[in-house]
Amino acid sequence: MKKSESVVDFYKRQPGHLTDGMTLNNAGLGHINIFSRENCSVVTPYSRRDFYKVSLIIGTGKLFYADRWIQIDRPALLFSNPVVPYSWEAESEAQSGWYCLFTEDFVQHSERINSLLESPLFKLGSNPVFFPDDTQVNEIASIFGKMQVEIASEYVHKYDILRSYLHLLIHEAMKASPAEEFGSYANGAARVSSLFIELLERQFPIDSPTISLNLKSPVDYAKALSVHVNHLNRSVKEVTGKTTTEHIAARVVKEAKALLQHTDWNVSEIAYSLGFEYPSYFSIFFKKQTGMPPNRLRNAVV
């Protein structure tokens, strides 16, 4: 995975959502926007986002995490953060509700909600799904509706009001019942291993010497999947017979060979793009894996 989905990526994936006159820095610092779910995607890709999101989901479907999933069979309030990747698959044709996306910069002015990662709703390892009762659903929908009206207004302090509405949504969730029945995969190791291989492949090819790998070690991949590194290592070894480190090394070598053979980048540029701090570290690694230094492979290409 080259990077998590950014706010810019979101608007590219959802053309038309960035309305006239709105910028990606629409609050003076940070970004917020509110949308109806009536035209939401049936399936969203499994990935991390670099923004926060609060969704009122009305419609059935499943939320998938790295090592568990949950059935959404009644109105639900979902809190997602930049740390935990997930995907959504709708089941019912009718999908409605609201969602609000915002960056941490947007709320840093508010002492009440500026430490989002410390909130019990957004904190790593916490339960991100809540099931409000009918009265709460109506109240939450009303708050989202007011947010959408406010963001379209010309009031100079509208973003302060939006922060207050966001604070109300957090309190409504804390009054609701958290989801408790998460499902586990029949073969959790196979799923984690598959997600690891997918993230590994999505980092390549590297098409510019100014780009460097974001995920370099098993710990990096475990964080991206929001699983413990020991769980990742056991799963990959169980399913593939190879260690996580072996998979990473093999893919880096494959990319290094391609760059040496098909680009005019020097060895230092290739080393940095593959995440090595120093070119000498890359040369040692490459020779250990292939039996020859990088320049010998390059010079052998006719």
Among residues 146, 178, 210, the one where a domain terminates is: 178
Which residue in this structure is represented by tokens 């995969």? 185
- Regarding whether 221 and 154 lie in a shared domain, the answer is no
Among residues 140, 156, 178, the one where a domain terminates is: 178
Percent of the chain surpassing pLDDT 90:
45
pLDDT at 115 over 70: no
117 belongs to a structural domain: yes
List CB contacts of 185: < 8 A, sequence separation 6 or more. Answer: 67, 68, 69, 191
What pLDDT, on the 0 to 100 scale, is given for residue 54? 93
2 belongs to a structural domain: no
- Regarding whether 103 and 240 lie in a shared domain, the answer is no
- Cβ atoms 179, 79 nearer than 8 A: no
- Integer Cα distance of 87 and 76 in angstroms: 15
- Regarding whether 93 and 55 lie in a shared domain, the answer is yes
294 belongs to a structural domain: yes
- Regarding whether 204 and 103 lie in a shared domain, the answer is no
- Edge-to-edge strand list for the sheet holding 76-80: 32-36, 96-102, 52-58, 76-80, 129-131, 177-178
H helix or E strand, kind and range, residue 173: helix 158-175
- Regarding whether 276 and 152 lie in a shared domain, the answer is no
- Cβ atoms 98, 144 nearer than 8 A: yes
Asked whether the CA dihedral 196, 202, 207, 213 is positive or negative, the reply is: negative
Indicate the pLDDT class of residue 275, thresholds 50, 70 and 90: very high
What pLDDT, on the 0 to 100 scale, is given for residue 23? 55
List CB contacts of 114: < 8 A, sequence separation 6 or more. Answer: 104, 107, 108
Cite the DSSP H helix spans in 176-228: 188-202, 218-225
If one compares 176 and 76, the residue with the highest pLDDT of the two is 76
Exposure of 208 by Cβ count < 10 A (0-12 exposed, 13-18 middle, 19+ buried)?
exposed
154: left (phi over 0), alpha (psi -120 to 50) or beta: alpha
Exposure of 134 by Cβ count < 10 A (0-12 exposed, 13-18 middle, 19+ buried)?
exposed
- Could you read off the pLDDT of 29-84 as tens digits, one per residue? 678 999 999 877 788 877 777 888 999 999 999 998 877 788 999 999 998 887 67
- Regarding whether 206 and 174 lie in a shared domain, the answer is no
As for how many domains the chain has, the answer is 2
If one compares 135 and 19, the residue with the highest pLDDT of the two is 135
CATH number of the domain where residue 51 is located: 2.60.120.280
Which tokens belong to 19?
Answer: 């309305």
Indicate the pLDDT class of residue 121, thresholds 50, 70 and 90: low
Parent domain of 238: 188-300
- Integer Cα distance of 14 and 8 in angstroms: 10
Please state the rounded mean pLDDT for residues 93-99. 94
- Regarding whether 160 and 50 lie in a shared domain, the answer is yes
DSSP assignment, residue 16? T
What pLDDT, on the 0 to 100 scale, is given for residue 199? 85
pLDDT at 246 over 90: yes
What pLDDT, on the 0 to 100 scale, is given for residue 2? 40
pLDDT at 22 over 80: no
pTM of this prediction?
Answer: 0.65
Q: Measure the CA angle with vertex 65, ends 273 and 127; round to 5°.
A: 120
- Cβ atoms 134, 84 nearer than 8 A: no
Q: Which residues pair with 96 in a beta bridge?
A: 58
Which residue in this structure is represented by tokens 């929001």? 226
